[in-house]
Amino acid sequence: MLTELRREAYEANLALPAHGLVALNFGNASALDRRRGIFAIKPSGVDYPALRPAAMVLVDVEGRVVEGRLRPSSDTPTHAELYRGFAHIAGVVHTHSIHAIAFAQAGRPIPALGTTHADYFFGEVPVTRLLRKSEIAAAYEIETGRVIRETFARRDPAEFPGVLVNRHAPFAWGPTAAKAVENAVALELCARLALYTLLLAPGRGALERPLLERHFLRKHGAAAYYGQGPARR
Amino acid sequence: MLTELRREAYEANLALPAHGLVALNFGNASALDRRRGIFAIKPSGVDYPALRPAAMVLVDVEGRVVEGRLRPSSDTPTHAELYRGFAHIAGVVHTHSIHAIAFAQAGRPIPALGTTHADYFFGEVPVTRLLRKSEIAAAYEIETGRVIRETFARRDPAEFPGVLVNRHAPFAWGPTAAKAVENAVALELCARLALYTLLLAPGRGALERPLLERHFLRKHGAAAYYGQGPARR
Amino acid sequence: MLTELRREAYEANLALPAHGLVALNFGNASALDRRRGIFAIKPSGVDYPALRPAAMVLVDVEGRVVEGRLRPSSDTPTHAELYRGFAHIAGVVHTHSIHAIAFAQAGRPIPALGTTHADYFFGEVPVTRLLRKSEIAAAYEIETGRVIRETFARRDPAEFPGVLVNRHAPFAWGPTAAKAVENAVALELCARLALYTLLLAPGRGALERPLLERHFLRKHGAAAYYGQGPARR
Amino acid sequence: MLTELRREAYEANLALPAHGLVALNFGNASALDRRRGIFAIKPSGVDYPALRPAAMVLVDVEGRVVEGRLRPSSDTPTHAELYRGFAHIAGVVHTHSIHAIAFAQAGRPIPALGTTHADYFFGEVPVTRLLRKSEIAAAYEIETGRVIRETFARRDPAEFPGVLVNRHAPFAWGPTAAKAVENAVALELCARLALYTLLLAPGRGALERPLLERHFLRKHGAAAYYGQGPARR
């Protein structure tokens, strides 16, 4: 069932180590079939070279396993929560990419310091508030999804296709699993650029608003003129 | 038409990911046939592994497409502006190399801190002024080229074969597209060396003038004695 | 004799350069057969590409060579000391991984700054005290093992499967040689994340206790729910 | 003539990009036949992939070309000067390795901060004084060799098999060209470790003398016990 969805999730998962976004068996990616409300996700604690499309676990958006012999990623409830909360996404990626984690561990958003950032994010990449003791003790992985949604109460997930979970690591998303991977690559790149920029100019502020808008909108706005077709993200 | 020029541009574009100067589909390179006033450039938003020589778009130095089924890089007007402004160049490269971008985002020139830098640049690599709101709103990519030319009003582009566009990224050039790539590699290397040097010695000033001249001129001057033939750059 | 043990040690040693944890011929790994009290270890000063399973040296837990044509690693007495002192380990790895060494050279423990760290270590990775002049002059490599054991007088080696030897480098261990390698990979990753985090937020303290416990225990506690089977480390 | 010597130089040169010690066509290695007073060295400005053993240029220790169709490296007079000054070396390597250059550009010696450093260098890696204007204007490359020798007036080149040329880059040497390459790898590793250590602990002083001696002498002293045979370096 849903062979294509499994393959999409499988390929997104394999793209994580290929792009240097994960070490060991860290991280996970999923792909959603929004019509059926089912997503395919990496099984828990399996090494990437051992992954196969058939090993992807099918889960519904309530987080219940629909099909699969293996246990799904322990972060599955976070994915489900994001799919329930963000109506226009169909791919979610959780990585352990180095520089993004450094910002998450520091509890700092990634400031929008240049046009590379503006090509993907319409302002700073936000960091969630710390979870409360009671949230950690209870359904921790669901609460992780909830605190991300809380962070986006007044933000558009299409304008900020990624977030830093405080003390933890980034999540990224997109209209497809492949696009979620691309956004995770961009998020890590922006984090690395920001770290080096701040080493050179510690108090450096955000780039100027007109430049932010020009770059974001030439790739993503209604009048986008970057690439070969209508704007996608 | 201009099969060789397309191949030259194609190879320069492929050299960008091979040298680690770009991620995703960022960056672009072009090669100019100055006699005809036509250059070949990467199509917009195409992934590097999917590039083919025939996909290169032919554009004249006024920025008008001459031949090609795909839309040219959105940075094409910047390339055209540089070819119009710098009479002796026939290759332009725009990269997203990490350390050079960090300096561009910080709004700092890359200081000439050692002989590796002096082998390629006859002083600090300049950073452009910020574009004005009106320049960003209008023909942004042309204005990017213009502000580079403005930065070189009193500099020789042969002595400084690269620049940092403020808040954005580097451009490099040369007498051929291949040489423009080499200069982009050197620019990134110098940026990385400068970042580490400044971490070790924050107030470190430029290297001494006689050493700067000796290294630059032994590779590039009329009396150059580096390499196997007459000096080229 | 003990062909399988030799192969296990051989594969753990080869994993060190494969994971980028060593340069040149630095570093070494061993695998213990606890029932027999014998471990297999890398010969001294041999380059990794030249290693063969048959070249592994068999040594008893008193540090005496049992079988092997080559001289064992000069760090063999340290391995023996750890096997004698830590009853539940059967693999030891000594690496020269870059970021972990930086903390060791700085004489600083690696603080537990985020959940990646908490997935492997139940608090900061400790650093040993400096050896005394008399300890260095005498049985230096045995004393290195002893000072690690001293550091763990009030710590559980299963909760902290690694240590920084002051001014020197990390050691890691586990219930198998493969798991010791994984812990060494995690230790290096945590050190790198911590360095970058501290550059962004110099005074950043340890992550909150409930989060530390949640992450460590979801992978390692009696009620672990990460992965496909009962918790191992 | 001297086919073996050319091959030795060729392999040492190829090892430089393989170890990530050079970019583009930077850097060079040579191998000396001390009995004949002739060394083989890389031709000037040739890209590494295009090198062939037969292209190595034979030069005598006075710096005069003995055989070869190509112009030798522009740094040839520096190699010759080192072979004349250091009686027990037969290999010299000049790299553009990133972290070592950062220290050279900063004008700072690489402090001996840990045992990895002590395995190769018996104290800090020195940095030469700046060349005077007259020295730069005259026989610059010979003066580079002379200032290295001046730096070693009271140091043993066997205890410090490398140096930083101020504002420029490192040189390393050894009893063979292969060993010179190994020392250049170690020098770059020590520079990288030192940079990270100083970021974590800015005022960190040298490691304790007994530990320095123990590590250096267990690999290099008369009573060395590291490796499979008598100590070499």
DSSP collapsed to 3 states, chain C: CCHHHHHHHHHHHHHHHHCCCCCCCCCEEEEEECCCCEEEECECCCCHHHCCHHHCEEEECCCCEEECCCCECCCHHHHHHHHHHCCCCCEEEECCCHHHHHHHHHCCCECCCCHHHHCCCCCCECECCCCCHHHHHCCHHHHHHHHHHHHCCCCCCCCCCEEECCCCCEEEEECCHHHHHHHHHHHHHHHHHHHHHHHHCCCCCCCCHHHHHHHHHHHHCCCCCCCCCCCCC
For residues C125-145, give the mean pLDDT: 96
> Has residue A231 got a pLDDT over 80?
no
The residue ranking higher by pLDDT, B1 or A106, is A106
Q: Which two tokens stand for residue A222?
A: 């209604």
**Predicted TM-score (pTM) of this structure:** 0.95
Predicted confidence (pLDDT) at residue C1 exceeds the cutoff of 90: no
Cβ–Cβ < 8 Å for C97, C187: yes
Separation between Cα atoms, residue C26 and residue A166, nearest integer Å = 37
D144 Cβ partners below 8 Å, 6+ apart?
D75, D77, D78, D81, D131, D165, D168
User: In this complex, do D195 and B200 lie within 8 Å of one another by their Cβ atoms?
Assistant: yes
Question: Which pair of tokens denotes residue B142?
Answer: 């042309």
Q: Which residues of C touch A (CB under 8 A)?
A: 113-116, 182, 185-186, 189, 192-194, 196-197, 199-201, 204, 207-208, 210-211, 214, 218, 225-228
**Which residues of B participate in catalysis according to the annotation?**
119, 226
pLDDT band at C229 (very low <50, low <70, confident <90, very high): low
Neighbours of A203 (CB within 10 A): 5
Show the DSSP H helices in chain B as ranges: 3-18, 76-85, 98-106, 115-118, 133-137, 140-151, 177-200, 209-220
Mean pLDDT of B107-130: 98
| φ, ψ dihedrals at A91, nearest 5° | -150, 140
Measured between CB atoms, which of B182, B210, B227 is closest to D137?
B210
Instruction: Tell me the CA distances in angstroms from B185 to A41, B93, B158, B189, D39, one per residue in order.
Output: 40, 10, 16, 6, 31
How many residues can be counted in chain A?
A: 233
Count how many pairs of residues, chain C against chain D, have C-beta atoms within 8 Å.
82
pLDDT digits (tens, 9 = 90+) for B144-165: 999 999 999 999 999 999 999 9
Share of chain A above pLDDT 70, in %: 97
Which among C45, C96, C198 has the least Cβ separation from residue D228?
C45
What 3-state class would DSSP assign to D115?
Answer: helix
Identify which of B182, B186, B201 has the shortest CB distance to residue D108.
B201
Single-letter amino acid, residue A77: P
CA distance D192 to D117: 11
Q: Which chain A positions have a beta carbon within 8 Å of B104's beta carbon?
A: 114
Q: What is the value of ipTM here, to two decimals?
A: 0.94
Average pLDDT over residues A73-86: 97
Write out the residues of chain B at the interface with chain D, using a CB-CB cutoff of 8 A: 113-116, 182, 185-186, 189, 192-194, 196-197, 199-201, 204, 207-208, 210-211, 214, 218, 225-228
- CA within 13 Å, CB half, B154: 0
Considering only CB atoms, which chain B residues are within 8 Å of D98? 189, 192-193, 196
Q: What is the pLDDT of residues A153-212, one digit of tens each?
A: 999 999 999 999 999 999 999 999 999 999 999 999 999 999 999 999 999 999 999 999
Lowest pLDDT segment from B22-26, B102-106, C52-56: B22-26
Q: What is the least distance, in Å, from the CA of D172 to any CA of chain C?
A: 16
Does the beta-carbon distance from D200 to C102 stay under 8 Å? yes
- Asked if residue C233 has pLDDT above 60, the reply is no
What is the token pair recorded at B4? 């060789």
User: Is pLDDT at D190 greater than 90 in this prediction?
Assistant: yes
* A116 contact residues in B (CB cutoff 8 A): 26, 96, 101, 168-169
Q: How many CB pairs under 8 A join B and D?
A: 82
The reported pLDDT for the residue numbered D134 is 96
Residue C218: pLDDT above 90? no
Give the tens place of pLDDT for each residue, B205-219: 999 999 999 999 988
Over 90: is that where the pLDDT of B224 sits?
A: no
The DSSP H or E segment spanning A217 is: helix A209-220
CA distance C65 to C79: 13
Alpha-carbon span A15 to A181, nearest angstrom: 7
pLDDT grade, residue D231 (50/70/90)? Answer: very low
Tell me if C100 sits within 8 A of C20, measured CB to CB: no
Q: For residue A69, count CB atoms less than 10 angstroms from its CB and return exposed for 0-12, middle for 13-18, buried for 19 or more.
A: exposed
How does residue A101 score in pLDDT terms, banded at 50, 70 and 90? very high
Tokens 């390459």 sit on residue: D181
| Lowest mean pLDDT segment, chosen from A103-107, B101-105, C32-36, C46-50 | C46-50
Q: Is residue A230 very low, low, confident or very high in pLDDT (cuts 50, 70, 90)?
A: low
DSSP strand pairing (D65-67 vs C170-174): unpaired
Q: Which two tokens stand for residue B122?
A: 């006859």
Residue C232 pLDDT > 60: no
The mean pLDDT value of chain C amounts to 94
pLDDT tens-digit map of D99-151? 999 999 999 999 999 999 999 999 999 999 999 999 999 899 999 999 999 99
Average pLDDT for residues B180-198, to the nearest whole number?
98
C-alpha to C-alpha distances, A133 to A79, A136, A169, C212, D50, nearest whole angstrom: 21, 5, 19, 11, 62
Query: Chains with 3 or more CB pairs closer than 8 angstroms to D?
Result: B, C
A208 and B104 in contact by Cβ < 8 A?
no
d(CA A43, CA D1): 63
**Look-up of token digits 């319409």:** A122
Beta bridge partners of C32: C39
| Active-site residue, selected from the candidate residues A33, A48, A60, A119 | A119
Q: What is the model's pLDDT at position B1?
A: 66
**Residues of A with Cβ-Cβ distance to B198 under 8 angstroms:** 200
Stronger pLDDT, C220 or B222, i.e. the higher one: C220
**Are C102 and D193 in contact (CB < 8 Å)?**
yes
Question: Are C167 and D226 a contacting pair at CB < 8 A?
Answer: no
Q: Give per-residue pLDDT as tens, D14-27.
A: 999 999 999 888 89
B200 to chain D: which residues are within 8 Å by CB?
102-103, 106, 108, 195, 198
Residue A55 CB partners (closer than 8 Å, separation 6+): A10, A43, A46, A68, A69, A70
Give the torsion sign (CA, B104, B109, B112, B118): positive
Within 8 A of B231 by CB-CB distance, chain D residues are none
B232 pLDDT higher than 50: no
For range A123-146, the mean pLDDT: 96
Question: CA of D90, closest CA in chain B: separation in Å?
Answer: 25
Model confidence at D230, pLDDT cuts 50, 70, 90, reads low
Gap between the Cα atoms of A103 and A96, Å rounded: 12
